[in-house]
Structure formats: structure tokens, C-alpha cells
Amino acid sequence: MATSQAQTVGTAADKAKLVTAVALAVGALAGFYLLTMQGPLVQWAVLLLGLAAAAGVFFTAESGKQLVAFGRDSWREVKKVVWPTRKEAVQMTAYVFGFVVVMAIFLWATDKTIEWLFYDLILGWRK
């Protein structure tokens, strides 16, 4: 029996950091839309700076640190993957295309056989 463990935010400081990060992101979006009279340069500056600040605060929280650790572990695992050579990739692609063509012909033949069986032999509609 598999048990799943829910990850929760532990300390009050982490909760405050996450709330601050969300507030900064919402504030950046609000600033972008409220500063339309200031011009696009100011709008984009406020948005990007606010989102950067939100990301900075998020990555100082435990959840952000766990996300960074997960990314590092994932990258380490991707490096371990043995990728196929060009020849192997071309061969496998050819096998897939060949199988698709064979299945298409089989399904077309099955469809035509059932069509002939029902419409010509049983119902006699095509005479």
C-alpha cells in the first residue's frame, strides 16, 4: 500500500515569504495595468522588476529551495540518459512510419470489407 505525503509549508517565516511573493507578483501585474498613462517602458519595468522580486523572495523560502534542488536532481538524471545515435533514431522512426502505414491499410481493408458485407450482401443497397 503506497502512502503519499503532502508537503506543507512549515514555518511562519516560509508562509510569510510565500505570501509576500504572491503579493509582489499580483502587485507587479496590477502596476502594469494601472500605469498605462506612464508609457510602455514604465509598465514593463514595473512588471519585470515586480516579478523578479517575487521570484527572489520565493526562492529564499523552503519551497523555492526544494524546487531548485528538484531542478538540479532532474538535470543530473537527464545527463545519465543514454540518447540514441542518429542511425538508431532514423531506424526507429522508419519502424514507426512503417507500422502506421500497415495499420492504415489494415483498417482501410477492414472498413471496406465490413462496408461490402453490410451494404452489398446483407442490405442490398448498392445494386
Size of the chain in residues = 127
Residues 6+ positions from 53 with CB-CB distance below 8 Å: 24, 28
Range of the domain at 119: 83-127
**pLDDT tens readout for residues 87-98:** 999 999 999 999
Q: Is 103 inside any structural domain?
A: yes
pTM for this one?
Answer: 0.58
Using 50, 70 and 90 to split pLDDT, how confident is the model at 33?
very high
Amino acid at 34: L
> What is the rounded distance in angstroms from the CA atom of residue 109 to the CA atom of residue 117?
12
Q: How many domains does the chain have?
A: 2
Q: So what's the pLDDT on residue 87?
A: 97
* Domain co-membership, 96 together with 42: no
User: 60 is written with which cell numbers?
Assistant: 529564499
Residues 6+ positions from 66 with CB-CB distance below 8 Å: 7
pLDDT over 60 at 67, yes or no: yes
Q: So what's the pLDDT on residue 122?
A: 83
* Domain co-membership, 76 together with 26: yes
